[in-house]
């Protein structure tokens, strides 16, 4: 849920990058962090244990404007990719305003994508949220891998009803990274404006 800081005249939104291990969630965040001007972003924080890592930082977008006189600040998080860190994944989803689901385009990762989407649905459901009720953007990452799965196949497996917009990306060089972020950010903002 978005939070309002009246003193700073800011609305804070939480966007979580979700998906299977090694799909490029961290690479997305690092790319965004490198491109955002220093005066518009906070510090990147890595919460790391021996086996698990979660990244976080916040930024004020340059071109998304204001909502009713308030600046918008987005807090971006990644979840650990491995399913056995489900408690951490669930915790990171608390208060989420939007999700970027990062799917891996490699042919041997189709099942991992499907399992991760199922896990996302289950974890959101624990907070009483259905995936249809929250801004969710799909990103088919690693489009440069040999024999990359067709976009239609990835979408058919993780979003059989074609509810969500899907973006192609190669996060290692930034292709599609900002397009995905802008899509989820705009979706989050339009939901807030519609709610009134």
In tens, the pLDDT along 149-179 reads 999 999 999 999 999 999 999 999 999 999 9
Considering the entire predicted model, what is its pTM?
A: 0.92
**Is 3.40.50.300 the CATH classification of the domain at 3-195?**
yes
pLDDT at 13 over 80: yes
Put residue 50 in one of left, alpha, beta given phi > 0 → left and psi -120 to 50 → alpha: alpha
d(CA 46, CA 176): 24
Could you tell me the residue ranges of all domains in the chain? 3-195
Question: Residue 88: what pLDDT?
Answer: 83
**Which pLDDT score is estimated for 44?**
81
Asked whether residue 76 carries a pLDDT value surpassing 70, the answer given is: yes
Grade residue 69 by pLDDT with cuts at 50, 70 and 90: confident
């Amino acid at each position: 849920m978005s939070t309002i800081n009246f003193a700073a005249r800011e609305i804070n939104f939480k966007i979580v990058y979700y998906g299977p291990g090694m799909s490029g969630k961290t690479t997305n965040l690092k790319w965004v962090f490198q491109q955002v001007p220093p005066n518009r972003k906070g510090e990147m924080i890595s919460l790391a244990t021996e086996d698990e890592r979660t990244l976080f930082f916040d930024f004020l977008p340059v071109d998304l404007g204001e909502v009713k006189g308030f600046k918008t600040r987005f807090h971006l998080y990644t979840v650990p990719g491995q399913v056995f860190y489900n408690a951490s994944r669930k915790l990171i989803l608390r208060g989420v305003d939007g999700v970027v689901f990062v799917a891996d385009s490699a042919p041997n990762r189709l099942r991992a994508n499907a399992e991760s989407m199922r896990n996302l649905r289950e974890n959101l459901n624990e907070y009483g949220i259905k995936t249809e009720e929250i801004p969710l953007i799909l990103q088919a990452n690693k489009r440069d891998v040999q024999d990359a799965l067709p976009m239609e196949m990835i979408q058919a497996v993780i979003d059989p009803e074609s509810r969500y917009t899907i973006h192609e990306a190669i996060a290692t060089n930034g292709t599609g990274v900002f397009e995905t972020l802008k899509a989820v950010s705009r979706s989050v903002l339009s939901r807030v404006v519609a709610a009134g």
